[in-house]
Amino acid sequence: MILLFLIILLAIAVFYGILQTDFSGVIKFFLVVLEMVLVSQFMIRKYKLPSEMGLVLLKSERGIKLINELAQRQKTWEFLSDMGSTLSYGLLSTVLMRKNTSLPSVAAGIACMLVITLLVAPIAMEFLKAMLTGTPVLEKNQLFQIGDAQTMAIIAGAVMLFGGFFLMLLLSILLYGFHILAQAIQFILTGVNTLASTSPGGTLLLPGVNLPFFEGILALIAIMAVHEGSHAVLARIANVKIKSSGVVLFGIIPIGAFVEPDEKQLERVEAVRQTRVLVAGSTANFVSSILLFILFVALALLLKSGFVGASGDMAYQAIRFLYITVGLAFSLNFVIATVNLLPLPLFDGYRVLEINIQNKHVVNAIMFITLAAFALNFLPYFFAG
């Protein structure tokens, strides 16, 4: 144990040293990844720890009792998951997963969709943008002023109503991917490089690299606990055994929580219940984003009111730390909930389509097109000066 303690201290020192360098964010990211891969491999091989894709899994059965207790409220959880089907897939859910929808769940899903679209999503994106640029300030006059706002709102509203956040994000990735592909073809044919001045369609959000470290880690742990816990509760309701639960480590960095259902049992469960299990994760993140958004607004008002003293006071700094943590939590809850709906390998969105669309060729075609467009969205990074 002394050796493990020394390794952890050394890893912390190296990690801190990397963050203090003048290297670019990309180089810092790769150095941190390299360090954490080495630390993970050491712990896995030296202490025979369970792992998945190079990540360390600290397993325990302590959380299973809580999961079983929560699963007693079967009707509530099933309604929330069915509501999440509409929230995630819009009116398309009444066709794609017909047995998982009812009039009350569809109405509740559309109501939540409006709240997230009008309030949570715009401020979440603005908050993350402020975090990435180092200026955590929300300015009302900077919220998504792109093109004809009225026309954009009508189109976005129609897309959201029809296909939920799934279709909105999917179309955004596809359209921007095709835009970048056209620029790449132009570069190949004419030599004119416009990709260097094109913004990538996405970015990695990494605590300690482009997000505050401690606040980011706390937010991610909370997000993954909610996400995985909801999967587990719906799995228990479907009478699927939960083998274990625990924490996921990337080196010394806790990056989330996990639950381990009996996959063979889950695959034998009827499609309606499998869909509820899969949709539950994003649903929990969407609902959490709304609840945390309310807390975020309250903290922001508290900081601006002057009730907690000046910026140098300990009370003010504590509230500000909580404000940033909650801001990251509600923002990343929304982002992770939405991205998780994409029909990509290892994402819940792919399994949802696989279960509810009988033609597997259609599912695979959607997956490959999405994967190609997703990769294209990151292509400008390789042409940046």
Task: Please check the confidence at residue 59 and state whether its pLDDT lies above 70.
Answer: yes
Question: What predicted TM-score, i.e. pTM, was given to this entire model?
Answer: 0.85
Three-state DSSP at 306 gives coil
8 Å CB contact between 320 and 310:
no
Distance of alpha carbon 251 from alpha carbon 35, whole angstroms: 8
Which amino acid belongs to residue 288? S
**So where are the chain's domains?**
1-48, 62-382
Q: What is the pLDDT of residues 4-32, one digit of tens each?
A: 788 889 998 998 898 888 887 778 888 98
Q: Is 43 exposed, middle or buried (0-12, 13-18, 19+ CB in 10 A)?
A: buried
Q: What is the mean pLDDT of the chain?
A: 87
8 Å CB contact between 315 and 250:
no
Q: Which of 219, 212, 259 is nearest to 59 (CA)?
A: 259
DSSP string, 189-215: HH----GGGSPPS-----BTTTB-HHH
Task: Please check the confidence at residue 146 and state whether its pLDDT lies above 60.
Answer: no
Q: What is the pLDDT of residues 233-291, one digit of tens each?
A: 999 999 999 888 888 888 888 777 788 888 889 889 999 999 999 999 999 999 999 99
Residue 208 pLDDT grade (very low, low, confident, very high; cuts 50, 70, 90):
confident
Residue 219 pLDDT grade (very low, low, confident, very high; cuts 50, 70, 90):
very high
pLDDT score recorded for residue 191: 81
The structure tokens 């799934």 sit at 166
Task: Please check the confidence at residue 144 and state whether its pLDDT lies above 60.
Answer: no
Q: Mean pLDDT, to the nearest integer, of 107-126?
A: 93
